[in-house]
């Protein structure tokens, strides 16, 4: 089956620095990827998504990079703020399936 995993379970950054959260996926048929942010006791919130026909997509302070060659996804957060502290999940979906597969998450802590 598919697997989506994260390289680092925890990440601490200084306020104002940039953060990079990584994700590996194993299903080469996956063609749609999403990053979610989850604060404690709340549901995941959509951050940004990317399709497999792209290798980079930018949002407000966030950038997602997709490297299909090595099946790797990353989320970059610019000028990290205390409000960015949360668990970040990547999720993947293939056009042959109707399920999303989620990684275990990376806990980001921003140090003021």
Partner 1 sequence: DGGITQSPKYLFRKEGQNVTLSCEQNLNHDAMYWYRQDPGQGLRLIYYSQIVNDFQKGDIAEGYSVSREKKESFPLTVTSAQKNPTAFYLCASRTRDDATNEKLFFGSGTQLSVL
Task: List residues near partner 1 by CB under 8 A.
Answer: 4, 9, 31-32, 34, 36, 41-46, 49, 51, 89, 91, 93, 95, 98-105
Give me the least distance between CB of 66 and partner 1, in Å please.
13
Q: Which residues of 86-111 are buried (b: 16+ CB within 10 A; e: fewer)?
A: bbbbbbbbbeeeeebbebebbbbebe
Residue closer to partner 1, measured from CB, 7 or 79 = 7
Residue closer to partner 1, measured from CB, 78 or 102 = 102
Residue closer to partner 1, measured from CB, 91 or 108 = 91
Give me the least distance between CB of 90 and partner 1, in Å please.
10
Strands (E), 40-79: 45-51, 56-58, 62-67, 72-77
Phi (first) and psi of residue 95, to 5 degrees: -75, 0
């Amino acid at each position: 089956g598919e697997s989506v995993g994260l390289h680092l379970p925890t990440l601490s950054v200084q306020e104002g620095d940039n953060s990079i959260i990584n994700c590996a996926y194993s299903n080469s048929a996956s063609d749609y990827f999403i990053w979610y942010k989850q604060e404690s006791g709340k549901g995941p919130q959509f951050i940004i998504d990317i399709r497999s026909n792209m290798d980079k997509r930018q949002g407000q302070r966030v950038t997602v990079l997709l490297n299909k060659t090595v099946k790797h996804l990353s989320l970059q957060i610019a000028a990290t703020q205390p409000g960015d502290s949360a668990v970040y999940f990547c999720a993947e979906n293939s056009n042959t399936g109707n399920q999303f597969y989620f990684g275990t998450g990376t806990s980001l802590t921003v140090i003021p």
